[in-house]
Amino acid sequence: MKKKLIGTVCAFVIGASLITGCAVQVPAAGNTSTDAAASEEAAVSGTAEEEGSAVGMANPWVAITEEEAESHCVRLFKIPDGAELIDWMMLEGSESESVVGEPLIQLSFTTDDPEMVFQARAQQGAPEDKDIAGLYVEWAAEDEATLANWGGGHMPAKCFRSVSDTGMVDLITWYDVEIGILYTLSTAAEDLDGFDIRAVAEAMYDPDNEPFTGPDEEETGEMTYMSADGWTVRYDPAVFESYEIDEHTAQFVYLGESAGSNVASISYIEGREPEEYLDEYTAEWGEDTVKVEGIFPGTDETPGFWRMSPAAEEGSGLYETVIAGAYRNGILVLDCIEHKSGDEAADMLVSDMMANVIDSLAYGDYDLQAEYEGLWAEKTSERVVISIASKEEEDLFDVVITWHEALPQKDLYTMTARYQDDGSLYYEDCTHVIRQFADDGSYEDTVQYEDGSGLLWYAADEETLYWTDYTVEDKEERVQTFVRAAFDVDIEKAAENQ
């Protein structure tokens, strides 16, 4: 299908932005201008504000090389195969909007259709909700997607489409929470039906721009640190020195030259919640603190929470990133403290090395799946029971929680939990009902909530199962303890008061 570049409005919004580097505001999905004329007027206004009038103000976008672009972004996209009319640019002055002081980078190119122009942008250190796309259109549709290669195949993305009398505009955005990089890719054409912008974004993934992972252990003497709490990381002793601060905390100190110390600390803290801990830890960081959510390093589904402080403008250039996620009967906290020297090559080397340690985070092969199966009774009264049974699908379990004795009414929780790399069972589809029984044995369910989330973790050394229910507001009451039941209960009959 032949796709032609859109006419007046879209050609201006996309084409001029690509050619001259101008950027205009992108409203959030659903925030639209009143009509097409207003959109074009706003676009012109946004361009004028960024570039200045034609007389007296220079274009803030400057041409750069691909190598210069890579020096400002650890995980930069690549030019897709077969691309033509390639142009790299950088927005001067945008460094102040990044917590690590990196500018906005732009790549424009065409593919098989020379009239179909793509604009890709990236900014390391940008907050996830920042607008960097450079568009001003009405979004008619918004969908969620997953990029097949970015983020190990788990990278969430958002796709937008604008439809007008002059044609269509497509936009996809995604965010690397591990490092803190915001990406966008957009294009416009008269007809984009059947076009998948996600495929272009996936074609721009560049494994060569992943943080340095180092040669094999046999070649470098890499070491593995094994925590008593079940996690491990790999590090090069020629680059980092490790310290065991206490039985739950280890530090890895960068040995290379820098403006200040660069330290990655990993701690297990029992009985805490990720966001509660982070809010307390970063309470004095100020309003510029960047907050991001994603998948906790080393896991497939465990939610992770990031807090990033802005780089200090004066002095040693201190900045800090703290990541927390649920782990066992508490949280695992990754705290990275770095100092920017102003030497881009040196700073990027430090960031790569620190990311190398965090990326290597793994969890022991507990093989606890079989240990979870069976019946568990609440530790104190044994009146509440948990039934856990494996499903045919690998790593999945059916979980039912209820009172095993006959009562006029009882709580009933049902969910599907997935086995995690850290040895826990995580769920996010729990339905909680209160089941009211009549004298004839019939019952009526009142739904308390759906899609509740939580964690089950078996402490082998304690022979105890911990249940953390994230929906409970009182954090002191979120965690309950269970032991292997000394009696048999048919959970289906218990749920029906039989």
Residue 461 lies in a domain: yes
Binned at pLDDT 50, 70 and 90, residue 313 comes out as low
Regarding whether 190 and 257 lie in a shared domain, the answer is no
Q: SS3 of 175, please?
A: strand
The answer to whether residue 34 is domain-embedded is yes
- Per-residue pLDDT of 329-379, as tens digits, reads 789 999 999 887 777 778 888 888 888 899 889 876 545 678 899 999 998
Say whether both 336 and 434 belong to one domain.
no
The conformation of residue 177, written as its DSSP 8-state character, comes to T
In a domain, 97, yes or no: yes
The 10s digit of each residue's pLDDT in 120-169 is 999 988 888 888 998 888 898 899 988 888 877 778 999 999 999 889 99
Q: Please check whether residues 430 and 488 belong to one and the same domain.
A: yes
Task: Tell me, yes or no, whether 22 lies in a domain.
Answer: yes
> Of the ranges 54-63, 290-299, 352-361, 395-404, which one carries the lowest mean pLDDT score?
54-63
One domain, residues 326 and 468 = no
The answer to whether 128 and 182 are in contact (CB under 8 A) is yes
Per-residue pLDDT of 199-246, as tens digits, reads 999 999 987 765 443 334 344 467 888 887 888 898 999 899 998 888
- Which of 181, 209, 237 is the last residue before a domain boundary? 209
Which residue has better confidence, 96 or 17? 96
* Dihedral sign computed on CA atoms, order 218, 221, 227, 233: negative
Domain extent at residue 277: 217-363
Say if 3 falls within a structural domain: no
The arithmetic mean of pLDDT across residues 296-300, rounded, is: 86
Please check whether residues 99 and 237 belong to one and the same domain. no
Q: Where are the alpha helices (DSSP H) in 173-269?
A: 197-203, 217-220
Residue 2 inside a domain? The answer is no
162 and 244 in a common domain: no
Q: Do 196 and 280 fall within a single domain? A: no
Same domain, 172 and 263: no
Predicted local distance difference test score (pLDDT) of residue 113: 82
Mean pLDDT of the residues in the chain: 81
Place of tokens 């949280």: 331
Name the domain boundary from 363, 379, 402: 363
pLDDT of residue 317: 76
Residues 203 and 224 in one domain: no
**CA pair distance 239, 241, nearest whole angstrom:** 7
Both 156 and 76 in one domain: the answer is yes
450 is a domain residue: yes
Residue 462 lies in a domain: yes
Same domain, 476 and 356: no
- The alpha carbon torsion through 8, 12, 18, 20 (nearest 10 deg) reads 130
Q: Which of 167, 182, 209 is the last residue of a domain?
A: 209
pLDDT tier at 433, thresholds 50, 70, 90: very high
Q: Are 136 and 27 in contact (CB under 8 A)?
A: yes
Whether residues 357 and 373 fall in one domain: no
Question: Which CATH number covers residue 321?
Answer: 2.60.120.1690
Q: What is the number of domains present in the chain?
A: 3
